């Protein structure tokens, strides 16, 4: 097979012939085993080779690429392909060894917003559930351009993609969390939650929720920066995901000090009881189908009411807390979202790797540097 591409048609036919259920399993012959391993090894070599070609293009000066007809859309297509390759943890880690990580991080500073956003997506894939690549990105000072894009990029999509990359970079990564805190990350998250872009809000509030779970000592910072008031405002968001995340954050804070919502954060109509009453009223006006879909939110509202006011909410007496299609016992919202450290660590270890995309894309024509 040397010098030729993998015989994928032959490999498919061979696989089907040995797994169609018509024959009992048999031991592979040595010839079949060699052929199969050679096909798979050659495909791995081809991916590395392709990543090296992409790295060469990323290192090529922009004016040289432009002179050869390579535009910003070509670069974005190339980064799309690279993202597919680095969905494999081994390939993600190999990107640094072939010299591709630093030029990828340089794309975070590209003049084109689409390229900046796509580069952040690739970084997200590389560092997700991957401690080695998290360390490599930190050592390459990748946090700096990501944080800059998150806080000050004029394009909100770029800001959102950068925040997504930061979230994956610092998850279960103590040095990453420390760097984020040192850069005044909580204040940046507060500003992100105050925008009107829902996707940006989602990523910000999910990161706040994670940080609240992982760093109990940061509660003082959260309170000082006014997060409870912002979370109360977001509990009335039109977006269900934002509402639920805000309610989870409020529940976490209330379990530590329920009296805070009756003393420090009652100004400007954000009193928690009024907000929860509005949500209960909203539930009573929902269709049966929508009410069933809002099950988690109903449980969160009731749990938060119980935590703050030491009594059940009116959801129970209205027949809105447990519906006929629900389980007999309401789920334990607190245990689901506020796990003990041991359970949380176990859950992290059980996370599956990201699923690779099976969509075939045409390999873009990439030109190397001129003579």
> 51 and 94 in contact (C-beta within 8 Å)?
yes
Which residue is it, tokens 């670069």?
Answer: 75
Q: What pLDDT is stored for residue 18 in this prediction?
A: 52
Check whether 351 has a pLDDT greater than 80. no
Q: How far apart are CA 347 and CA 5, in angstroms?
A: 41
Confidence of residue 255 (pLDDT cuts 50, 70, 90): confident
> 54 and 78 in contact (C-beta within 8 Å)?
yes
Average pLDDT in the 235-250 region?
94
List, for residues 289-300, the tens digit of each pLDDT value: 999 999 999 999
List, for residues 301-336, the tens digit of each pLDDT value: 999 999 888 899 999 999 999 988 776 555 555 555
Nearest to 304 by CA among 250, 263, 265, 260: 250
Could you tell me the two tokens for 320? 């809105």
Could you tell me the two tokens for 286? 């929902």
pTM of the model: 0.76
Nearest to 134 by CA among 176, 183, 96, 90: 176
Q: Between these two residues, 17 and 33, which has the higher pLDDT value?
A: 33
Check whether 169 has a pLDDT greater than 90. yes
Q: What pLDDT is stored for residue 247 in this prediction?
A: 95
List, for residues 9-20, the tens digit of each pLDDT value: 554 454 545 555
Q: At a CB cut-off of 8 Å and minimum separation 6, what does 171 contact?
A: 129, 210
Confidence of residue 263 (pLDDT cuts 50, 70, 90): low
Average pLDDT in the 195-210 region?
96
Q: What pLDDT is stored for residue 260 in this prediction?
A: 67
* Residue 44, Cβ density class (10 Å: 0-12 exposed, 13-18 middle, ≥19 buried): middle
Q: What pLDDT is stored for residue 285 in this prediction?
A: 95
Confidence of residue 213 (pLDDT cuts 50, 70, 90): confident
Q: Between these two residues, 260 and 25, which has the higher pLDDT value?
A: 260
Check whether 340 has a pLDDT greater than 80. no
Confidence of residue 23 (pLDDT cuts 50, 70, 90): low
Q: How far apart are CA 229 and CA 226, in angstroms?
A: 6
Buried b (16+ CB within 10 A) or exposed e, 212-243: bbeeeeeeebbbebebbbbbbbbbebeeeebb
Q: How far apart are CA 204 and CA 191, in angstroms?
A: 9
> 167 and 214 in contact (C-beta within 8 Å)?
no
Average pLDDT in the 246-268 region?
74
């Amino acid at each position: 097979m040397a010098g030729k591409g993998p015989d994928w048609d032959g490999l498919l036919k061979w696989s089907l012939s040995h797994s169609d259920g018509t024959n009992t399993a048999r031991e592979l012959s040595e010839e079949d085993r060699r052929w199969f391993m050679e096909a798979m090894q050659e495909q791995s070599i081809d991916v590395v080779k392709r990543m090296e070609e992409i790295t060469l293009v990323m290192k090529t000066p922009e004016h040289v690429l432009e002179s050869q007809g390579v535009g910003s859309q070509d670069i974005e297509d190339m980064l799309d392909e690279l993202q597919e390759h680095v969905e494999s943890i081994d390939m993600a880690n190999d990107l640094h060894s072939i010299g591709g990580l630093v030029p990828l991080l340089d794309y975070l500073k590209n003049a084109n917003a689409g390229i900046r956003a796509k580069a952040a997506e690739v970084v997200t894939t590389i560092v997700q559930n991957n401690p080695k690549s998290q360390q490599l990105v930190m050592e390459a000072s990748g946090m700096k351009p990501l944080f800059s894009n998150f806080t000050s990029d004029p394009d909100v999509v770029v800001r959102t993609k950068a925040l997504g990359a930061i979230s994956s970079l610092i998850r279960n990564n103590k040095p990453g969390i420390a760097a984020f805190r040192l850069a005044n990350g909580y204040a940046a998250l507060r500003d992100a939650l105050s925008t009107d872009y829902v996707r940006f809000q989602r990523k910000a509030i999910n990161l706040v929720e994670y940080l609240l779970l992982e760093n109990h000592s940061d509660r003082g910072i959260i309170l000082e920066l006014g997060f409870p008031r912002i979370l109360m405002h977001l509990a009335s968001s039109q977006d269900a995901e934002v509402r639920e995340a805000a309610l989870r954050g409020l529940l976490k804070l209330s379990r530590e000090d329920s009296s805070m919502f009756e003393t420090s954060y009652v100004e400007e109509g954000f009193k928690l009881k009024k907000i929860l009453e509005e949500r209960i009223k909203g539930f009573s006006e929902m269709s049966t189908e929508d009410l069933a879909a809002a099950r988690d939110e109903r449980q969160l509202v009731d749990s938060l009411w119980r935590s703050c006011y030491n009594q059940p909410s009116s959801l129970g007496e209205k027949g809105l807390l447990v519906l006929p299609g629900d389980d007999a016992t309401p789920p334990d919202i607190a245990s689901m979202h506020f796990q003990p450290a041991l359970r949380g660590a176990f859950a992290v270890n059980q996370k599956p790797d990201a699923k690779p995309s099976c969509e075939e894309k045409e390999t873009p024509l990439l030109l190397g540097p001129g003579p």
